[in-house]
Structure 1
Amino acid sequence: MSSMIVDSLKHATNRCNIYGGFFVFGIGITGNILNIIIFTSLKTFRETSAAFYMNVTSAVNIFQLVVGLLSRILITGYDIDPTKTSSVLCKARQFTLITTMLIIFSCMCFAAIDQFLLLTNRGRHLCNLQVASRLVIVAFIVSFLHGIPILIFQDLYPPPGTGQTSCSSINTGYSIYYSRFLFPVLLGILPLIIRITFGLLAFINVRQLHNRRVPIVRLERDKQLTAMVLIEVVVDVIITLPYSIYNHWYSSAVIFSDPISIAQNQLISSITRIIFYGNFSIQFYIYCCVSSRFRRQLVHVLTNIYFKYLQEKINRRQMNRVAPRSIVEVNTVL
């Protein structure tokens, strides 16, 4: 009886990893590409530092989904795990995952802080592309430096040739830092607190803009970006908390020896991890739901810019095909 329960739980875990993983991966790649298209096509976004942070986030999200989620689907869904046989791949995957997460959450925090400063008289001068570019560069450098211990302490354990190997930390101190601080705090509670605080402050400030003499275009843009940032924070809280709570509980829980408990734990881990990857997948859909202006901008970019560009390109090809034929006919007549 217990073996049937274990098999059912393992099957559910496998289906969750495959179907849930590919669903999140598909909507994530599509949504992030559309975000990049919109943020780079419209002048109102190209000149806005908050949109610049969102654009960088979308680009790094794609990298995170390909390296992190897609490899996770192969590992847990199809039992294809090259990190168990290659020390280089073991280190590279973990380094990439943590580094890109730090960059993404840093840019999300920058966007919330930027939107708050933009709505204040004293901090508005800091909200420009030059400052934003420098902060993003700093985030990349700090995140890469933070990942150096991963390249040192992450390895195959036990060493190849000694039996079943796994890609894990070989340093007890770093394992404690990883499970007790990195995921629960640095990639969990801390960025959420920063984003919630500055998101609410920005929301309060944007409501006061009606009492000031602010150009309508700027007012609409600021209201749009503030709403996008604030609602994104709320959704991310819902998405991040289950995985953060699970990681904190798992790091302090006793080691399971019962097969049913192990299978249940694996299923919970898979579900919370898939939900957590929503952090890197659903921004575009949040923006579409929150902002009618963003939806109009999406339609404008796709139809009036890219569709017209493709149509003109097709027309040019057709004209190039017709032109040689007419030349041949003229030569024949002559």
Structure 2
Amino acid sequence: MMSIYEVALQIRFWSPIILFSIGVPAALLNAIIFVSIKTFRRSSSTYYIVGQSLSDVNVLLILLLQVIPSTSSSVSSIACKLILFFLQLTVSVAMSFLCLSAFDRWACTSQSARIRQLSSIRVAQRVFPIPFILWSLVNIPFLVYCDLVPPIFSCWFTNDLFMRIGILVLSQILTVLLPLIILILFGLLTYRNIRLVIHVRQQPNQSRQSNWEQQMTRMMLIQTLLSIFCTIPRAVFVVYTIFTIDESVTRNFDQLSIIFLVDSLTISIISLNFASSFYIFLLSSPRLRQMIQMHLKCLFNRRNNQVGSTNILLTIPTLSARRTTRVTVRPTVENKPF
């Protein structure tokens, strides 16, 4: 029978592999679909979804690299610095785009016209690069104060002050607790707006776009709700860790094993945020499934038509009383745009 510590190690090893296998293809499909289909590009949430999908791929890739001995953070000093930096960067960016999506849906469903202006493609285009730039600057100290620490040469902090800042503030409060508060706040505000039966983007002659915005609101609200449930266990563990940080020295091996197990479980649960977006959207929106099917059929028919109409010349003989002439007919295939 495996001990608690061995169970925690198994979770730490298999969880990144499973999440990478199911999450990376889904995140890439998410980005491709929302970029390639014109109807999706009309929504400001598309920018936040694409940004989150790209960040999800990077997070899952880095988590996978950590469990592979040849690419783990303990291989070299450079690997230690880069993996910790990019892990902290990509997790922060992914959670930021989750929060931006929740904010966008609140603004989109607001009764105030001024607030609804914050939910626009123009605003989304300007906000899109901010999380990448902001968190790249904030996490630069990870490149300076992280290295292989003797005697076992594990990847850890080389500065005690930044160790507390990195563990408590950057890795816990800004990445877990603050996003959870924002998700809960804007999730409740969006739900209240929906209960007030506010029409999304009240514009004449834009009924189809308004219906799609309502679908986007539903999808993002469900994603926000599931993200809250996935983040709460980690947030509770973070709060417990903060209040008991001074007791870590006096704990025995069994207590440390239990804490290590809970730590591994909560990391696996919160990592579902980075692997589940596509499945949430697909299950929560029948119209999304219908549009994806239509798009795939359009692409399939277009390819078939292009293959069937390539350099085909039909020569039809036409008989008359005096002579025989040949009429060359070029068949054309009309491709209707999606």
TM-score, normalised by the number of residues in structure 1: 0.81
Aligned residue for 1:272? 266
Unaligned runs of 5+ in 1: 324-334
2: CA distance between counterparts of 1:185 and 1:23?
A: 27
2: CA distance between counterparts of 1:147 and 1:44?
A: 36
Aligned residue for 2:252? 258
Is this contact kept in 2: 1:196–1:230, CA < 8 A?
no
2: CA distance between counterparts of 1:267 and 1:190?
A: 24
Aligned residue for 1:152? 144
Within the alignment, does 1:237 sit opposite 2:237 as a pair?
A: no
Please say which structure displays the higher CA radius of gyration: 2
Aligned residue for 1:188? 176
Is this contact kept in 2: 1:288–1:295, CA < 8 A?
yes
Deviation, 1:81, is 5.7
Aligned length: 305
Give the counterpart letter for 1:230 in structure 2: L
Aligned residue for 1:56? 51
Once the two structures are superposed, the pairs formed by residues 218-229 of structure 1 within 5 Å of their partners are 218-229=209-220
Unaligned runs of 5+ in 2: 314-338
Deviation, 1:80, is 4.8
Is this contact kept in 1: 2:109–2:200, CA < 8 A?
no
2: CA distance between counterparts of 1:66 and 1:126?
A: 33
Once the two structures are superposed, the pairs formed by residues 86-101 of structure 1 within 5 Å of their partners are 86-101=76-91
2: CA distance between counterparts of 1:82 and 1:272?
A: 21
Aligned residue for 1:328? none
Aligned residue for 1:84? 74
Q: Deviations over 1:166-225 (max 9, x none)?
A: 111111121212222223321112122222222332333345235996543133222211
TM-score, normalised by the number of residues in structure 2: 0.80
Aligned with 1:197 (options 185, 202, 205): 185
Within the alignment, does 1:33 sit opposite 2:22 as a pair?
A: no
1: CA distance between counterparts of 2:181 and 2:281?
A: 21
Give the counterpart letter for 1:101 in structure 2: V
Is this contact kept in 1: 2:8–2:260, CA < 8 A?
yes
Aligned residue for 2:7? 12
The two structures, once aligned, show a CA RMSD in angstroms of 2.8
Aligned with 1:142 (options 127, 134, 137): 134
Name the CA shift for 1:93/1:228 in 2 (closer, same or farther; >3 Å). Answer: same
Is this contact kept in 2: 1:95–1:147, CA < 8 A?
yes
Aligned with 1:209 (options 198, 202, 222): 198
Q: Deviations over 1:259-293 (max 9, x none)?
A: 33333333222222111211111011111222211
Name the CA shift for 1:212/1:227 in 2 (closer, same or farther; >3 Å). Answer: closer
2: CA distance between counterparts of 1:211 and 1:39?
A: 20
Give the counterpart letter for 2:131 in structure 1: A
Name the CA shift for 1:82/1:35 in 2 (closer, same or farther; >3 Å). Answer: closer
SS in 1 for 2:79: helix
More helix by share: 1
By relative contact order (CA 8 Å, sep 6+), the higher-ranking structure is 1
1: CA distance between counterparts of 2:249 and 2:93?
A: 33
Deviation, 1:35, is 0.8
Give the counterpart letter for 1:148 in structure 2: I
Aligned residue for 1:130? 122
Deviation, 1:137, is 1.7
Aligned residue for 1:297? 291
Aligned residue for 1:326? none
Is this contact kept in 2: 1:35–1:284, CA < 8 A?
yes
1: CA distance between counterparts of 2:72 and 2:168?
A: 27
Name the CA shift for 1:82/1:192 in 2 (closer, same or farther; >3 Å). Answer: closer
Q: Deviations over 1:74-94 (max 9, x none)?
A: 2xxxx5564224111111011
Is this contact kept in 2: 1:179–1:247, CA < 8 A?
no
